[in-house]
Amino acid sequence: MAMTLTNDARVIAPEVTLTTLSEDVSSRVLMKRAPLWWWCGFGISLALLMVLIIQMAVLFIVGIGVWGVEIPVAWGFAIAEYVWWIALASGGTIVSALFFLTRSPWRSATNRIAESMLLSAAPCAGLMPIMHLGRPGFFYWLFPYSSVMGVWPQMRSPLLWDFVCLLCYILMSIMYYYAGILPDLATVRDLATTRSKKIFYGILALGWRGSVAEWRNQRIVYAIMSAIMAPMVVSVHSVVGLDYAGGLTPGWHDTQFPPYFFFGAIVSGTAVIIMLTILVRWGYSLQNVLTEYHFNAMAKVMLVGSLMLAYAYVWEAFGPLYGSDVAARTEFFHRAFGFTAPVFWSEKILTVVVPQLLWLPAVRRNQLLLVLISAGVVVGMWQERFVFTTSSLEHNYIPSYWGHFFPTLWDWAALAGTIGLFLTMFFLFLRFAPIISLAEVREVIEERRAG
């Protein structure tokens, strides 16, 4: 059936009803055995997670010397990937919270995927700074608490702001996710056929009965939390940008880093959501719920994010070339034409040039091309984080202090392991929680029926 642009059939197929929606989505959660593809994906994820556990054991026993970080490049993969994971998590918040406030109809079927991605990516980001500490056992020193010696963390340090913002962001994200999924947990509880599942989902549903008062309170709370989460994601990624901008290192000391990081969060987060949505659509046969219109809309969001990122790239070059700071100009030329040049230009092609194909409607509706473009964007954003983290430290103010960063096996193990942690958590969300927001898709169906 051709998708029209004048009614809600474009958002959800007309054959989807309230009954079939609940049964189709809940049956995936209540099935006795997960499908083979889920076990294959979960098995690979667990294998990568074991790589992370082994890497962390070696790191904590031997020290961060097993990584390639040394003077002058004291920040390597861990900090670059910290920013990368935060960007992916922030992209989930943008799709879920920001587009809830704009009342975008396509968001109703994709917000749970975005929120699950957010909660899976945030722990990966939180692990990176802890692993990067020389003495990770004392990570709690970042907490603003009064010690016996009366020593407090430096309140003017962006690192403290980063810790507070990330902690608040994770806690708010958990509450935001739970506030949205509460009615759906009650639906799964009512459709469960075994006593154990009824008890399990009954406890999670907190006695939800679907009364008018419960629905009114839930919608008010969810709307307020969306209004809080939307600006919070901007502030969180801006503070991450201040970790760099607050330093005097050439290439970092730049006022554009907060918006620059936010633009990257839009494009990379949306790219991961597109790939996960295609996985869910294929694996659970939800072609009637996740339609071409959803991919068309998300591809447009990714395209806009790519254009915003291109604007930031222009200013990344304009500042050093137009300004009078010789060190900043030298560092930029090193980044663009020196040791990191292949990665530098590769990231620009993958994050800006290739996504321009999304101007074509046929490309936006082709799932294979979307997966390839999205994967390229995610890889390109990782390259971007890696380049501006290490290249600035490689070429500081003193030429005799210059050097290069060479990652070791354990650097790559940390990257592969956190990907395993991310996928493990997402597959668990996929197995034990409704991956489609039943309550919000029902509203779309009711609006279509009323219209």
Task: Give the pLDDT confidence score for residue 134 in this predicted structure.
Answer: 78
Confidence grade of residue 217 (pLDDT, cut at 50, 70, 90): very high
What pLDDT was estimated at residue 5? Answer: 38
Phi first, then psi: give them for residue 240, nearest 5 degrees: -60, -40
Helices (H), 284-366: 292-322, 326-337, 341-348, 361-364
Whether the per-residue pLDDT at 3 is higher than 50: the answer is no
CA distances to 72, 207, 333, 345, 366 from 336, in Å: 20, 59, 5, 7, 33
Mean pLDDT of 289-303: 91
Cα 152 from Cα 229, distance rounded (Å): 29
Task: Give the separation between CA 386 and CA 340, rounded to whole angstroms.
Answer: 10
pLDDT of residue 316: 86
Which of 48-57, 103-112, 182-191, 200-209 shows the lowest per-residue confidence on average (mean pLDDT)?
Answer: 103-112
Note the Cα 151 to chain centre separation in Å: 35
Rounded mean pLDDT, 241-263: 83
Decide if 186 contacts 206 (C-beta within 8 A).
Answer: no
pLDDT > 80? residue 82: yes
- Yes or no: say if 419 and 100 are a contact pair by the CB < 8 Å rule: no
Grouping H, G, I as helix, E, B as strand and the rest as coil, residue 349 is helix
The pLDDT value recorded for residue 391 is: 86
pLDDT of residue 413 exceeding 90, the answer is: yes
Nearest to 72 by CA among 406, 401, 407: 401
Instruction: Tell me the one-letter amino acid at 400.
Output: S
What integer pLDDT is reported at residue 13 of this predicted model? 77
Range in 108-117, 367-376, 388-397 with the lowest mean pLDDT: 388-397
> How many residues would you count in the chain?
451
Q: Tell me if 391 sits within 8 A of 347, measured CB to CB.
A: no
Q: What is the mean pLDDT of residues 119-145?
A: 84
Kindly report whether the peptide bond that precedes residue 72 is cis, defined as omega within 30 degrees of 0. yes
Q: What gap in Å lies between CA 334 and CA 320, rounded to an integer? A: 12
Residue 128 · residue 99 · CB < 8 Å:
no
Give the pLDDT band (50/70/90) at residue 21.
confident
Q: Is the pLDDT of residue 4 over 70?
A: no
- Asked if 228 contacts 48 with a C-beta cutoff of 8 angstroms, the reply is no
Mean pLDDT of all residues belonging to the chain: 87
| pLDDT value of residue 361 | 92
Range name among 63-77, 126-140, 163-177, 361-375 with the lowest pLDDT average:
126-140
Mean pLDDT of 335-345: 90
Q: What is the mean pLDDT of residues 378-397?
A: 89
Q: What is the distance between the alpha carbons of residues 106 and 121, in angstroms, rounded to a whole number?
A: 23
Q: Give the separation between CA 233 and CA 269, rounded to whole angstroms.
A: 12
| Mean pLDDT value of segment 39-59 | 95
CA-closest candidate to residue 386, choices 128, 79, 130: 79
- The pLDDT of residue 6 is 38
> What residue spans define the domains of the chain?
8-135+153-450
pLDDT at 150: 66
Average pLDDT over residues 122-143: 84
Q: pLDDT for 178-195, tens place per residue?
A: 999 999 999 999 988 889
pLDDT of 443: 85
Residues 239, 397: Cα–Cα separation, whole Å: 25
What band does 106 get if pLDDT is binned at 50, 70 and 90? confident
Q: What count of other Cβ atoms lies within 10 Å of the Cβ of residue 309?
A: 27
Task: Supply the CATH classification number for the domain 8-135+153-450.
Answer: 1.20.1630.10
Structure tokens at 280: 């869910």
